[in-house]
Structure 1
Amino acid sequence: MPSTSECPNRQAHSPYVPTTNGCGGQDSWSASFIPNSFGPANFTACCDAHDICYGTCNSNKANCDNAFGDCFAGPCSVFPAGSPLRDQCMQIAALYYSAVVLFGGGPYETSQREACDCCGSSCSDLPCQPGPCGATPSCNGTTSCGCKSGSDRTYCVREIACLDTVTCTTNANCPSGRVCVFNTCCGAGGWCAPLCGGSSGLVAPLSSGSGILRRE
């Protein structure tokens, strides 16, 4: 999947299961600066729940972050109310919350790309099952859009003019708003096709060019 902004009609990628790595991640550098606990207050469950929330297709980042911030009241309750240790624990919690709000955008996008397929709202099978040329399942509520296999996911893409696009091997070869799909009617290999379901600029039909249009 490209990005959440370019694919508003995301659907869960089966059989993806979100992974967790505690508060500091798997590398020792981050673990030393972002510990899983403060004394007897263990934050691991809160951090793992936040990982799962980010890794759940169509989750809302702000909701995940807010639930994460609220979660720390439980672990910090091991210290007496009003005690300096309780206050210090909640200050640490506030720092963790601020960190995900300010710097969690990248991890959220990465998790959503792993958790979701970029399919239109009319793809009945999850994930979309792409067909060969001429037998493309429609998606996004229109026959001009169809499910096609990409290098990493199945995408809901708009019809393309074969002489008005470029070949590709991955999404990185395509202009913004387009993805690399295969099994098109344009020939062997991958071709850059515009996504359906994004903003009007992303889904605007291509010019007819040579007049050779194929439904992808």
Structure 2
Amino acid sequence: MVTASLSDSDFRVLAGLMAGPHGRPVSPGDPARLLVVFSCADAEVGRAAAQLYAEGLVRHIVFSGGIGKDSGGLAGLGISEAAFLASVAIADGLPPTAVTLEESACNGRENAVRSLTLAAEKHLVGDGDRVAGLAPTQRSRRLFEELRYQAAALRCPGVVDAGFASGAIDPAAADIRAELLGELRGLHEMHDRSPQRIFRLDEFQSGGTHFGLVRRAGLG
């Protein structure tokens, strides 16, 4: 019902907002010391992580994810999302020495908190080091914001200032549209939740650049 108020053009804009990249550009001369991968059962995410490493854009990768709603058939095999994606990335050339697994997280907040905590404990990131996130395209903006907020809340030594996405996105597909609307709702509302999940994003609030999308979607 709410989808009817958004035009095809609106969905294309919304897909572009979610897809990224987000934050400050990363380059081989200015890489992210740490990449946090929000894991799932989509092998494309693992391949994207391997490519980012091969291009010299990231130095070390934490794959985070146990068994959750995006695990698909992995649960029946007893394989964590993190282990699955790491194996895909290693098969694509990622050195095992560049990999750390976090296999207990079951949602985005846990992915962020547990990965950052583990990285600090293992001294994978130091003061001022750049930290980036990687997630499936339609979720990458929200999960980048979640990682950014949790890093500040935990007083992580690193600075989360970049976000990557994996895979293409079809803004005409009904299931993708439903997910994009959920992501838009999150960016509009999640700063008001307890515990807080992201910083308030003025662009998605009344008077903000993208509030028209929020209003037309019936979310604000």
Structure in which a larger fraction of residues adopt helix: 2
Coarse TM-score class (shorter-chain normalised): under 0.3
- Rg larger in 1 or in 2? 1
TM norm structure 1 = 0.26
Q: Looking at both structures, which has the greater relative contact order when contacts are Cα pairs under 8 Å and sequence separation is at least 6?
A: 2
